[in-house]
Amino acid sequence: MMMAGLRERKKEQTRQRIAETALRLFGERGYDAVTVNEVAEAAGVAKVTLFSYFPSKECLVLDAIKDDYAAAVKGRREGQTPLGALREYCRGIVRRGAGTSVEALITRVQVVASSPALLSEVYKTNMGEREELAAALEAAMPDAGLAPRLMAAQITAVITTLQETFFQRLFTGVPLEEAERLLQEEVEVAFDLLEHGLSPDDGDKS
């Protein structure tokens, strides 16, 4: 068991080294200008080893930002609602991101934003996540008609807005700890709205 644990740690360290090396090179020279061979050489691994961790060049950037909302719904506790499970999942994302390098976060966004190929993959990934979430909600809410698909569209749009707001704050110089604190609060506001809706009076506070 100890040897198995050591192997897993070494594999995770190798994966992390490859991902960090790729992001550094892409940030310095641009995504399209760097080859997979160059990433493998700089990370000190064989190309075949790199592909055993990241099956495509796009995965070197995008694997770190993929989310599995469908799994959160499917794996929810007995008695827990799908929205309750998703709220808990998003809270966990914020907690796991604590302490992440601001430079790495900003570099990843810049690399994606500067590459049409990566932007296209992000769109495909987001659509795939939305479809998988819709299917999971349909399984959790049989005979609910269009409601699960409408819910999936609303949930993914809300989460995207939270992510965009978080990164916009970082780009304008808001400290990471403050941006994370605000994100924690806004996750709760977002899921309160998803659960209870926006009443006609909520927009009129005058």
- Residue-wise pLDDT for 34-46, tens only, equals 999 999 999 999 9
CA distance 75 to 36: 36
Residues sharing a CB contact under 8 Å with residue 24, sequence separation 6 or more, in sequence order: 107
- So what's the pLDDT on residue 204? 52
What DSSP string describes 83-125? Answer: HHHHHHHHHHHHHHHTT--HHHHHHHHHHHHT-HHHHHHHHHH
Q: Over 90: is that where the pLDDT of 199 sits?
A: no
Q: Which long-range contacts (CB under 8 A, 24 or more apart) does 120-124 make?
A: 121/58, 121/62, 122/62, 122/65
Mean pLDDT of 9-28: 94
- 138 within 8 A of 73, measured Cβ to Cβ: no
Cα distance between residue 68 and residue 130, in whole Å: 10
What CATH number has the domain spanning 2-60? 1.10.10.60
Radius of gyration of the chain (CA): 19
- pTM metric for this prediction: 0.83
* 191 neighbors 83 (Cβ within 8 angstroms): yes
Q: Are the beta carbons of 138 and 147 closer than 8 angstroms? A: no
Predicted pLDDT at 101 = 81
pLDDT digits (tens, 9 = 90+) for 50-101: 999 999 999 999 988 888 999 999 999 999 999 999 999 999 988 876 667 8
What number of CA atoms fall less than 13 Å from residue 43's CA on the CB side? Answer: 28
Quick: pLDDT tens for 115-164: 999 999 999 999 999 999 999 999 999 999 999 999 999 999 999 999 99
Please give the angle made by the CA atoms of 10, 36 and 45, to the nearest 5 degrees: 30
Which tokens hold the place of 7? 């192997």
